[in-house]
Structure 1
Amino acid sequence: MGTAYLILVGIAAIALLLFLVMAFKWPAYIALVAVSVVAAVAAGMPLDEVIPTVIAGMGGTLGSVALLVGLGAMLGGIVEKTGGAEALARSITRKLGEDRVVPALVIAASLISIPIFYDVAFIILVPLIYSFGKAAGHRSPLILGLPIGPLMVYIHNTVPPHPGITAATVSLTGDVGLLMLVGLAISVPVGVVAYFLAKYLNRTVFELSPEIQEHFVHAGADEPIAGIDQNGGGSGGSTGSGGTAAVGAATSTSAPTAPVRTAPGGGEVLFAILLPVAMIAVGTIGNLLFEDGSAEARATAFIGAPAFALLVACVLSYYLLGVRHHWSAGEVTEIMEGALGPAAVVIFVTGAGGVLAKVLTESGIGDALANSLLQTGIPIIVLAFLLSAAFKVSQGSGTVASQTTAALLASTIIGGDYSAIQIVLILVAIGCGANSLTHVNDSAFWITTKYLGLSVADGFKTWSLMGLVLALTGFAMSCLLWLIV
């Protein structure tokens, strides 16, 4: 097949995918697999190789993604349900002081968002945004919510073990551990920008919806905030000086000796979240210090393998955050297994994205498209950002945007003379593109604006603007590092 024909097939396949998802509202899983099959046939792939290629694409992606996303979801589930997110936020606030509640919650939110999907993590923090904001005398939940939400979704799009960026890393054969460390490092200046930009935007008094205004006025009262599960751990009772709170305490007079569950302390939660990051850092540093094949290199590679690091964190959290605080073994197991339900949908969609990536690679469509775009003279890192941003604005899903972009560029990047750090920076650029231009076709837009009481117009002025600025900041940092390395 000629290059021009393959490019047309690729463009048509992407257009068909967007049409099926946006116009016909097809499930993304079915749409991705169906389009992959059609594209493979249209590109001239032998018919007896089409389904084996589909299976190889699914299996190759799920091998890494399912393991990382599943373990990450279980770690996030136990942090969420045991009250760990609130404990961490309150602990950091006490350390920094009540007058620094905004930076305290920004730091806490960024840590919480490492293992927990954005939608869940933000909803966990909503009661704290309300109660902390009211206690600090703020006029609106936006004072706290505006820097927190955009930074959390930025981390979701750029840092493993979140599904989109993890799948993209698999497609480009990147180093997940190195990406996590570089992604978190770049998140620091991005967080600073989020803090000051939100502070500037909050100079404008945005009109809140009556329902949210009412809830904010009564923040801290016993009544639940609409749409929030008060027993989910994120909005449990307030912590004392020791960082614990009674959650789900036994109230039956017939069982006075039943142990009272307590929320974990902030230090315990911080340890559970940062332990896998530290282990991955050991592996990355060991790879730089020790000779390939040496005993030291093998040991640090084992310790720093992201899947092993998350497994260790999950096992320790089972006791540290659960059993130690009087949750029964069965209850902790139920919490952790329950976290796999929502993650399963994401995993399957991610696997279907891997099918499309495999088809684009094996059929030559990816090479044809990428080479044609590179002939325009656009640097690969800029091209990665622009492609991802285009997919993001057109169909709304950052996961799909990251996967599709990586699929188109995979052959070019894998076959090119790019170092491990350069591939990581390309991945950061892809994640930043998947974070940009968020609007009404993105579920995160609706979740955030709903809970903060913003109109659609004000959502564009705040949420969408901040998402774009943070994406550009992260992309600028990746470009700067690209010039250095």
Structure 2
Amino acid sequence: MSDQATMINTGAAVLAVVVLIIRFKINPAVSLVIGSAYLGLSAGLGTEKTVETIATGFGDIMAEVGLLIAFGVLTGAMLQETGAIERLVQTLVRVFGVNRMPYALSLTVATALQSIYLDVLLVISAPLARSTAAKMNRKGTARMATALAIGGECGIVLTVPGVGALALAGLLGVPLGKMLLFGLVLVIPTVTIAVAVMCFLFDRGWWNEERDEQPYPGEEQSDSVGVQPVPGTGESESGSAPGTGGVAVVAPAQTAVRTPLPLLLAPLLTALLLIAAGAVLEVAEIHHPMIAFLSTPVIALLIGLVGTSVVGRRSIGIDRIQRSIATGFQESGQILILTGVGGSLAATVAATGLGDILGDYFTASTAAPLLMVWAIAAVLHIAVGSVTISAITAAGILAPVAPALGIDPVLIALAAGAGSLFAVHVTSNTFWLLQSLMGQTTRGTLKTCSVGVSIASVVAILLIMPLSLVL
């Protein structure tokens, strides 16, 4: 088959996935498998080879990141149940003061809290963000809504253990410790700059309380423990199909025993430090069998999971911990399936030889390949409406191309993540969550969420491109 035919068939497969998700409301995981099957057959792989490639790609990525995603989601579910996240936000208010909270909250959400399922994290944080906004000197709702949007979305794809970051690392063969370190180096300035730009715009009059804000419905009831209705029609970052409606999330009850907050968070932070330490020692070419074992991502996150379970049992009892684990398994299921079929697409694209074809068009001597990665993910996100799905799909397309580009795979992973942040809009469940939970109109949410996260996307790729000259 000619190179041109291969590229056309690949484009048709991706377009088919988008149409199936958007027009026919077919689940993204099913759509990705259909797209992979079409690509394999149209590329001449044959029926047996196509099925084998899809299954092998799914299995390979599950072996790479399946346990990592499961451990991360389960740890987050237990932290949610213990009330650790609510207490952390309250502590941030006390330590940093009200007017610095947009920066403190966005950075905390983007880094330390990425094991928490995003919808749940927003529901937990929003009441405290609203109360903080009311105490700020100016434009409180705009600032705090922007902080939640930028921090939450950036963390998903740029910070380990965000599910998007884990999937990108697995698909592109990036060591998780390296993804963690480079992700942190990128996400901190990206979030800080994006929040600063948005606050500057708000201070210069780009926010109208009368047109951009609306009374939060049932304010008194919403701040209490209970179920929060979400009016969205878009897609959850868990990967549910667009048009399936919003999700209802139950906020955690108060802890039975007042366990110190550092103790509740210590197991997760220990796990992340172990992973980072392993990456640093590998670069320094220092080898120690025990440290190498403990810093292995699966073992490190297992330590975090077991530690959180032990601390959680002392804090709220075994029954509530077991219930939170059951919830975590439900949340992780569709994330795992989506990540796996992203691996199927990557394997099918690799089997068609697209990597060698595109490698002839791009060289590592310029920043163009990274811009291509960013643009592909951005276009997919605009079409599909999900940060996670667009990042995974872009990585699946680009995984076989990475060796030919001659660029460090971690930069390709981060560029795909950055592109997937561009233009979060009305097809995203996060958009409607932020509108409802932060008391914004659609016009206001387009500013805080769509524009705010898009600025973060552009800032991130501008920070990534110079790195290609030194790595």
Name the amino acid aligned to 1:24. Answer: F
2:399 is paired with a residue whose SS is: helix
**1:212 corresponds to which residue?**
216
Query: Which of the numbers 416, 428, 433 marks the counterpart of 1:447?
Result: 433
Shift of 1:136: 5.0
Shift of 1:268: 2.2
**1:227 corresponds to which residue?**
229
Q: Give the Cα–Cα distance (whole angstroms) in 1 for the partners of residues 178 and 155 of structure 2.
A: 15
Contact kept, 8 Å, 1:370 with 1:412, in 2: the verdict is: yes
Contact kept, 8 Å, 1:54 with 1:358, in 2: the verdict is: yes
Shift of 1:473: 1.3
Larger mean Cα displacement after TM superposition, 4-13 or 94-103: 94-103
**1:79 corresponds to which residue?**
79
Query: Which of the numbers 421, 445, 467 marks the counterpart of 2:453?
Result: 467
Query: Which of the numbers 280, 289, 294 marks the counterpart of 2:284?
Result: 289
Q: Percent identity?
A: 21
Larger mean Cα displacement after TM superposition, 446-455 or 54-63: 446-455
Shift of 1:117: 2.7
Return 5+ residue gaps in structure 2 as ranges. Answer: 231-247
Q: Give the Cα–Cα distance (whole angstroms) in 2 for the partners of residues 4 and 303 of structure 1.
A: 48
Structure having the higher Rg: 1
Name the amino acid aligned to 1:278. Answer: L
**1:351 corresponds to which residue?**
340
Q: Give the Cα–Cα distance (whole angstroms) in 1 for the partners of residues 349 and 125 of structure 2.
A: 40
Shift of 1:390: 1.4
Normalised by the size of structure 2, how large is the TM-score? 0.87
Indicate whether 1:304 and 2:295 are aligned: yes
Contact kept, 8 Å, 1:208 with 1:452, in 2: the verdict is: no
Q: Give the Cα–Cα distance (whole angstroms) in 1 for the partners of residues 366 and 137 of structure 2.
A: 53
**2:108 corresponds to which residue?**
108
Query: Which of the numbers 314, 318, 327 marks the counterpart of 1:324?
Result: 314
Shift of 1:363: 2.0
Query: Which of the numbers 417, 420, 436 marks the counterpart of 1:431?
Result: 417
2:257 is paired with a residue whose SS is: coil
Normalised by the size of structure 1, how large is the TM-score? 0.85
Indicate whether 1:315 and 2:306 are aligned: yes
Larger mean Cα displacement after TM superposition, 364-373 or 430-439: 364-373
**1:93 corresponds to which residue?**
93
Q: Give the Cα–Cα distance (whole angstroms) in 2 for the partners of residues 439 and 230 of structure 1.
A: 21
Task: State the Cα deviation string for residues 391-429 of structure 1 (Å, max 9, x = none).
Answer: 1111112222222222222223235544xxx22122111
Task: State the Cα deviation string for residues 21-50 of structure 1 (Å, max 9, x = none).
Answer: 111111111111112112111100032212
Contact kept, 8 Å, 1:84 with 1:263, in 2: the verdict is: no
Q: Give the Cα–Cα distance (whole angstroms) in 2 for the partners of residues 230 and 138 of structure 1.
A: 30
1:25 is paired with a residue whose SS is: coil
Name the amino acid aligned to 1:324. Answer: R
Distance 1:483 1:263, change over 3 A: farther
Name the amino acid aligned to 1:79. Answer: L
**1:273 corresponds to which residue?**
268
Q: Give the Cα–Cα distance (whole angstroms) in 1 for the partners of residues 159 and 150 of structure 2.
A: 14
2:251 is paired with a residue whose SS is: coil
Q: Give the Cα–Cα distance (whole angstroms) in 1 for the partners of residues 98 and 129 of structure 2.
A: 13
Q: Give the Cα–Cα distance (whole angstroms) in 1 for the partners of residues 249 and 397 of structure 2.
A: 44
**2:64 corresponds to which residue?**
64
1:411 is paired with a residue whose SS is: coil
**2:10 corresponds to which residue?**
10
Contact kept, 8 Å, 1:173 with 1:414, in 2: the verdict is: no
Contact kept, 8 Å, 2:213 with 2:444, in 1: the verdict is: no
Matches within 5 A, 1:25-40: 25-40=25-40
Name the amino acid aligned to 2:251. Answer: G
Distance 1:375 1:43, change over 3 A: farther
**1:243 corresponds to which residue?**
none
Return 5+ residue gaps in structure 1 as ranges. Answer: 237-246, 249-260
Larger mean Cα displacement after TM superposition, 330-339 or 26-35: 330-339
Distance 1:373 1:82, change over 3 A: same
Shift of 1:107: 4.0
Shift of 1:106: 3.2
Contact kept, 8 Å, 1:106 with 1:148, in 2: the verdict is: yes
Task: State the Cα deviation string for residues 192-220 of structure 1 (Å, max 9, x = none).
Answer: 223323322433233355441772xx599
